[in-house]
Structure 1
Amino acid sequence: MSDVHIIDLSSPVDASFWEPDPVIHEILTPAEGARHMAEEMKTHFGIDFDPADLPGGELLSLDTLTLTSHTGTHVDAPSHYGSAGTYGVPRHIDQMPLDWFLRPGVVLDLTDAGTGVIGVERIEKELARIGYRPRPLDIVLLNTGASRYVGTPRYFTDFAGLDGPATDYLLDLGVRVIGTDAWSLDAPFGHMLRTFQETGDRSVLWPAHFAGRRREYCQVERLANLDALPEPFGFQVSCLPVKIAGAGAGWTRAVALVGQ
């Protein structure tokens, strides 16, 4: 492992960031933690102890957070996409095979996409440019440039997502985990809804997510630092999700392992 360089690909959970569902982060200091623990030990176990007996009157700090499982860098499970799949019952995040989330990675530079949708032609063009064809179970990462807006309202409105055919194109190659530095693997809500209102075409509504009702796969959303990857392929991605029972998503500390 001494020759492996670890690159952090995760955005933080930060209560100071602008979020549609704000993060609440409550902190007990070590002194407050000592008093809290004394009360808990008395209430639940009938044990008395005086926090003043502790060095400095301190025990341990304690962080309590209120947030969604889609805050920060996270992995979406098939059950997030709908209650039923044409392939069977969608699995929750704690049921997914772990070997999906430690695999060779390839990053696609799509920073010129702007706001809207990314189609098959743009994906094929980038794969041809880097001279690589994803193999089954490779993890494909989309660098759209959206991460520069993390923490601001623009992060939720100014990004590009895959259209339905582009999602199916990657899944046809055997890819089962697709990651993006954007808030969503789909285009922004406003863009999708305007297109639907103009065309009446329901296929433009959440096509990347709804592809997961037909084909079992996972998304990693809200990645960061994809520009730091030295090459477009030749690295491993680790994005093991937190094991939340019965959940449609789980947080991950996604990293790239370079030099293995």
Structure 2
Amino acid sequence: MDWLDFTTTITDGMAYWPDNAPVHIKRTLSMADGAAANVSEISMSVHTGTHVDAPLHFLADGTDAAQLDLSKLMGPALLVAVNSEKFISRADVEHLQLKPGSRVLFKTRNSAREWSTEPFNPDFVRVGADAAAWLQEQGVVCVGVDYLSVGDAQAHNILLGAGISVIEGLALQHAEPGEYELLCLPLKIKGVDGAPARVLARRR
């Protein structure tokens, strides 16, 4: 079975969270101008595109991106389609048959558009606090969403406080609901509250 790429492409000027740093990519050395090689630089928030939140993002004494538990980011995962207009609620998830150690990825109406190339849209579907609490109760170890944030501060605190890994900005436009093998590898950056990641998955 072929691997699918669930990673949002990083592009100059792409969508970003309003109070975060915008994305700037530029060529600093060019072979066309006589340089021996092409060299580029990039400036952006660590919460750009597809990324993983470290506990430090919302927990003052939380661990940083370099200490993320990769075992929570790799393994069987359930991709779930949710039709909620605003919040993924407890009612949207409590029918799921989850076991301790489960990983859940949510595909919502966010995936119906190429959101990364559009201006930031505050009207995105997010995980509600009641759903986050239910996922914690089930012993879920990883939650992934298809926009730049999993939810508000309360949802973040519930998930990160429980040691649940949070993947944001997934590219799920062409992914069908079902069971997958997940591979998410965030960059190992010391002292920061999140890290860009490459996310691959294949049907089980």
TM-score by length of 1: 0.70
The equivalent residue for 2:178 is: 232
Q: Which amino acid aligns with 2:167?
A: V
SS class of match (1:240)? strand
d(CA) in 2 for partners of 1:81 and 1:213? 8
Instruction: Check conservation: 1:109, 1:144, Cα contact below 8 A.
Output: yes
Q: Which amino acid aligns with 2:101?
A: L
Counterpart among 41, 63, 66 of residue 64 in structure 1: 41
Counterpart among 208, 221, 232 of residue 168 in structure 2: 221
Is 1:113 aligned to residue 84 of structure 2?
Answer: yes
Give the aligned CA root-mean-square deviation in angstroms. 1.9
Instruction: Check conservation: 1:178, 1:219, Cα contact below 8 A.
Output: yes
d(CA) in 2 for partners of 1:172 and 1:158? 28
Say if 1:71 and 1:118 are closer, same or farther in 2 by CA, change over 3 A: same
Extract structure 1 runs of 4+ deviating beyond 3 A: 18-21
TM-score by length of 2: 0.88
Is 1:206 aligned to residue 178 of structure 2?
Answer: no
5+ residue gaps, structure 2: none
Q: Which amino acid aligns with 1:101?
A: L
The equivalent residue for 1:124 is: 94
Is 1:173 aligned to residue 138 of structure 2?
Answer: yes
d(CA) in 1 for partners of 2:169 and 2:42? 19
Larger Rg: 1
d(CA) in 1 for partners of 2:160 and 2:50? 22
SS class of match (1:252)? strand
Q: Give 1:138 shift.
A: 2.3
Counterpart among 97, 117, 124 of residue 151 in structure 1: 117
Q: Which has more helix, going by share of residues? A: 1
d(CA) in 2 for partners of 1:236 and 1:18? 28
Percent identity between the two aligned chains: 27
SS class of match (2:72)? helix
The count of corresponding residues between Structure 1 and Structure 2 is 198
d(CA) in 2 for partners of 1:6 and 1:213? 28
Q: Which has more strand, going by share of residues? A: 2
The equivalent residue for 2:98 is: 134
Q: Which amino acid aligns with 1:80?
A: H
5+ residue gaps, structure 1: 33-56, 85-89, 128-132, 187-204
The equivalent residue for 1:96 is: 68
Instruction: Check conservation: 1:81, 1:212, Cα contact below 8 A.
Output: no
d(CA) in 1 for partners of 2:69 and 2:202? 20
Q: Which amino acid aligns with 1:134?
A: L
Q: Give 1:58 shift.
A: 4.7
d(CA) in 2 for partners of 1:254 and 1:160? 21
